Amino acid sequence: MIRRHLKNTHKQEKIQQFLEKYKVPKEYISTTRKMIGRGAFIGLSIAMIPMPFQMLAVLAVAPFFRFNVAVALVMCWVTNPITMPFVYYIEYITGSFFLGIEPGNVRLTVEWFQNNFKDIVFPLYLGALFYAIVLPSIVYYVITHFWKRSVYQDRTKPRKFFSKDETLEQ
């Protein structure tokens, strides 16, 4: 599983040299269950907020919270330029539902956004706040669950005492 692969990543010599050269704290690439989960949570939370420079926002909060920065940066790309209109439209519809207002007919033109900006901002950010809390919480739980399950399976499966080439002769 990916957990076993990540366990040895931070021990590679090139990564260690990079961390020492640029004085990057080792927590930023830590591959423990909590650090990976926190990185996914923070990255997905920021990805759900409609704003420019989401990756810079992840780097801005890095000194205040301990999490795997690489995972958080990858999670920011959930809302890439291809998926962004769909995600933001769903957030707008959700925010409109919570406010009890009828969402207008959305057209993907600059002119439409300029004319209706005041009407869509509050429902959009309310829906974004909802998804920025709910989705990352679910992802954090799923990562934690599967990580613990993987550890449990590794500890409970029978160990092989012979290599692949050796056979047991009786």
- Say how far apart CA 124 and CA 75 lie, in whole Å: 20
pLDDT of amino acid 7: 61
pLDDT digits (tens), the chain, 170 positions: 565 656 666 566 776 666 666 666 777 777 788 889 999 999 999 999 999 899 999 999 988 988 888 899 999 988 888 888 889 889 999 999 999 998 878 777 778 878 888 888 999 999 999 999 999 999 999 999 998 888 888 788 776 655 555 555 54
The whole-model pTM stands at 0.79
Is 161 in contact with 130 (CB distance < 8 Å)? no
pLDDT at 75: 92
Report the chain's terminal Cα–Cα distance, integer Å: 34
- DSSP state letter for 105: P
Q: What is the pLDDT of residue 31?
A: 77
